Amino acid sequence: MPELLNPADPDFARDPYPYYARLRHEAPVRRVALANGTHAWLVTGYRQAREVLADPRFSNVPAPRAGRPRPVSAAQQARACLARHMLNSDAPDHTRLRRLTSAAFTPRRVDALRPRIEELTGQLVAQVAGRLEREGSADLVDAFAFPLPVLVIGEVLGVPEADRAELREWTYRVGSPADALAEGEVEEAWTALHGYFTALIAGKRRAPGTDVFSALVAESGAGALDDGELLAMAFLLLFAGYETTMNLLASACLLLLTHPGELAAARAGGPAGWAAVVEEVLRHASPLEGTTWRRTTQAVDLGAGTLIPAGASVLVVLAAAGRDPQRFADPDAFSPARYLPGAGDERAGAHLAFGHGPHFCLGARLARLEAAIALPALFEALPGLRLAAGADTLPYRPGLLVRGPRVLPVRAG
Ligand code: HEM
């Protein structure tokens, strides 16, 4: 009998690690039954996760909708359109889309965002400080971890600031399991996102900006991105760019507030200390709990008696791979020192929080840069920050894709 897994269960969302540890212990690649009645293979071992992510027999193209009704409603059509992005494609399509987009994400281009990120961070920290002074408490997700990545990805996409709160809400909804929200809310969000990006592209054709996305729009034509691909690309950059970084910042704040010794060590350790915190948060609290779904194009023998049939749905659980005791010593401990350059032979190996293989995160450098600026700025300006709620009472977003606390109430100490 396959194990049962209910991603909408709030207790599982808050702390899925004991479940994953048990699963990995039984078998690092294991078939489970999902609460919606379907079956899937979960990859929880580090070595197996790397293997699967680099193996072209695991396709990123979503399963054909054979036997299911064609998309008829506006929401279904919008969803199908926005889903045609490179994370949902295999070579050679993926190679072409990735090549065109990576031109925008060169290290030089990303590093050039530093002064703007510092400026935006400074403004947000001042607002958090002001709110704490006036009201005595603040929600760090709402006031800090959410707005910073949205502002930064907004710069990359050239999205007006006034539109960013709506985008957050729609993105949140389309990433949630349909049964976790009120009826119609997810459908409404797909339609709204489609309409918004169609208008954004038209606007950029009329009046291109200096942003990365304007450059992609201007390039569209023979061999480059067509209109449908541009639409899906905008959605992917938005969705991949801030929901993940928001969770990285929120989980980092939570871990530092609940581990004051590690916070003190980071403050004493300068840039290397903060960089180690960022790597350890990525490993310990992977902002993407799982990758996107893979599907086997043929039967795959992963050894040790694991035979995945053709056409099976496979989820690589990055959060579980980061806690694999075969790869990381004392994996459940939050210990940034394992990523310090001076850790020598004891230095921890690479985590998989940014994925692996052809779909390795395009925004990894940007995400690291944001976190390395944001965390010291916040904790240097507000050294007395304290959590204003029990860490184990905080709500987490349901589902298997992204993971992080949804609210983080703090007071000034
Ligand atoms: C902490 C923040 C982030 C994390 C943890 C993260 C993680 C990941 C992971 C695990 C993948 C691979 C998913 C898979 O194989 O199914 C991925 C892909 C991707 N990420 Fe990120 N990401 C982050 C931030 C960003 C940012 C800031 C951007 C862009 C502005 C971005 C853009 C992308 C894109 C475009 C892809 C698809 C690449 C492809 O299909 O070739 N990500 N990310």
Which residue type does 204 have? K
Q: What six digits make up the tokens of 218? A: 């201007």
245 C-beta closer than 6 A to ligand 1:
yes
Residue 212: φ, ψ to 5° = -60, -40
354 C-beta closer than 6 A to ligand 1:
yes
288 C-beta closer than 6 A to ligand 1:
yes
Are 338 and 346 a contacting pair, CB within 8 Å?
yes
How many domains is the chain partitioned into structurally? 1
How far is Cα 317 from Cα 315, in angstroms, rounded to an integer? Answer: 6
User: Is the predicted pLDDT of residue 80 greater than 60, yes or no?
Assistant: yes
User: Is the predicted pLDDT of residue 279 greater than 80, yes or no?
Assistant: yes
User: Is the predicted pLDDT of residue 1 greater than 80, yes or no?
Assistant: no
Q: CA end-to-end span of the chain, whole Å?
A: 51
How far is Cα 359 from Cα 318, in angstroms, rounded to an integer? Answer: 14
User: Is the predicted pLDDT of residue 180 greater than 80, yes or no?
Assistant: no
User: Is the predicted pLDDT of residue 55 greater than 70, yes or no?
Assistant: yes
Give the mean pLDDT of 93-99.
91
Q: What six digits make up the tokens of 382? A: 């507000």
Mutate to test the pocket of ligand 1, among 93, 362, 365 (most ligand atoms within 8 A of CB): 362
Ligand 1 geometric centre to CA of 304 (Å): 31
Ligand 1 geometric centre to CA of 46 (Å): 18
Residue 102 pLDDT: 84
In this structure, which residue's CA is closest to atom 12 in ligand 1? Answer: 355
Residue 222 pLDDT: 57
The string over 136-157, giving b where at least 16 C-beta atoms fall within 10 Å of a residue's C-beta and e elsewhere, is eebbbbbbbbbbbbbbbbbbbb
Per DSSP (E only), the strands in 56-204 are: 58-59, 137-139
Which residue type does 290 have? G
Percent with pLDDT over 70 in the chain = 95
Mutate to test the pocket of ligand 1, among 255, 361, 400 (most ligand atoms within 8 A of CB): 361
Are 44 and 17 a contacting pair, CB within 8 Å?
no
366 C-beta closer than 6 A to ligand 1:
yes
Integer angstrom CA distances of residue 382 from 137, 254, 356: 12, 14, 36
Percent with pLDDT over 90 in the chain = 62
352 C-beta closer than 6 A to ligand 1:
no
- For residue 334, what is the enclosing H or E element? none
Ligand 1 geometric centre to CA of 360 (Å): 7
- Cα dihedral angle (2, 6, 12, 17), rounded to 10 degrees? 30
Residue 139 pLDDT: 97
Residue 352 pLDDT: 97
Other residues' Cβ atoms within 10 Å of the Cβ of residue 162 = 7
**Strand bridging mode 294-296 / 313-316:** antiparallel
The string over 265-288, giving b where at least 16 C-beta atoms fall within 10 Å of a residue's C-beta and e elsewhere, is bbeebeeebbbbbbbbbbbbbbbb
User: Is the predicted pLDDT of residue 74 greater than 70, yes or no?
Assistant: yes
287 C-beta closer than 6 A to ligand 1:
yes
Other residues' Cβ atoms within 10 Å of the Cβ of residue 9 = 13
In this structure, which residue's CA is closest to atom 39 in ligand 1? Answer: 359
Residue 215 pLDDT: 79
Residue 221 pLDDT: 58
Give the mean pLDDT of 85-109.
87
Residue 177 pLDDT: 64
Residue 175: which pLDDT band, with cuts at 50, 70 and 90? low
Strand, coil or helix: what is 320? helix
Ligand 1 geometric centre to CA of 106 (Å): 15
In this structure, which residue's CA is closest to atom 43 in ligand 1? Answer: 361
Residue 186: which pLDDT band, with cuts at 50, 70 and 90? confident
365 C-beta closer than 6 A to ligand 1:
no
254 C-beta closer than 6 A to ligand 1:
no
User: Is the predicted pLDDT of residue 67 greater than 60, yes or no?
Assistant: no
147 C-beta closer than 6 A to ligand 1:
no
Mutate to test the pocket of ligand 1, among 146, 171, 244, 284 (most ligand atoms within 8 A of CB): 244
How far is Cα 363 from Cα 343, in angstroms, rounded to an integer? Answer: 27
Residue 157: which pLDDT band, with cuts at 50, 70 and 90? confident
Residue 62 pLDDT: 85
How far is Cα 376 from Cα 77, in angstroms, rounded to an integer? Answer: 44
Nearest atom in ligand 1 to the alpha carbon of residue 286 is 5
Residue 347 pLDDT: 76
Helical H segments across 285-363, by residue range: 318-321
Residue that wins the pLDDT comparison between 86 and 220? 86
Ligand 1 geometric centre to CA of 362 (Å): 6
User: Is the predicted pLDDT of residue 388 greater than 70, yes or no?
Assistant: yes
User: Is the predicted pLDDT of residue 319 greater than 90, yes or no?
Assistant: yes
Give the DSSP letter of residue 290.
S
User: Is the predicted pLDDT of residue 220 greater than 70, yes or no?
Assistant: no
Helical H segments across 239-382, by residue range: 244-258, 260-284, 318-321, 364-381
User: Is the predicted pLDDT of residue 138 greater than 70, yes or no?
Assistant: yes
Residue 228 pLDDT: 87
Residue 397: give its domain's CATH number: 1.10.630.10
Residue that wins the pLDDT comparison between 183 and 176? 183
Give the mean pLDDT of 3-25.
91
Ligand 1 geometric centre to CA of 272 (Å): 23
Q: Lowest-confidence range among 79-88, 291-300, 312-321, 388-397?
A: 79-88
Domain that holds residue 264: 3-411
Nearest atom in ligand 1 to the alpha carbon of residue 89 is 40
Counted residue by residue, the chain has a size of 413
Which residue type does 84 have? R
Residue 103: which pLDDT band, with cuts at 50, 70 and 90? confident
As beta bridge partners, residue 40 has: 32
Ligand 1 geometric centre to CA of 177 (Å): 20
Mind giving me the DSSP string for 6-37?
-TT-HHHHH--HHHHHHHHHH-SEEEEEETTS
Give the mean pLDDT of 55-70.
79
361 C-beta closer than 6 A to ligand 1:
yes
369 C-beta closer than 6 A to ligand 1:
no
Question: Which residue do the tokens 């639409």 mark?
Answer: 231
Residue 179: which pLDDT band, with cuts at 50, 70 and 90? low
How far is Cα 290 from Cα 52, in angstroms, rounded to an integer? Answer: 13
> Peptide bond preceding 92: is omega within 30 degrees of 0, i.e. cis?
yes
Is the sign of the CA dihedral 320, 326, 327, 328 positive or negative?
A: positive
- For residue 411, what is the enclosing H or E element? strand 409-411
C-alpha radius of gyration, the chain, whole number: 21
**339-380 pLDDT per residue, tens:** 998 777 677 789 999 999 999 999 999 999 999 999 999 999
Average pLDDT, the chain: 90
Nearest atom in ligand 1 to the alpha carbon of residue 247 is 1
**Strand bridging mode 29-34 / 39-43:** antiparallel
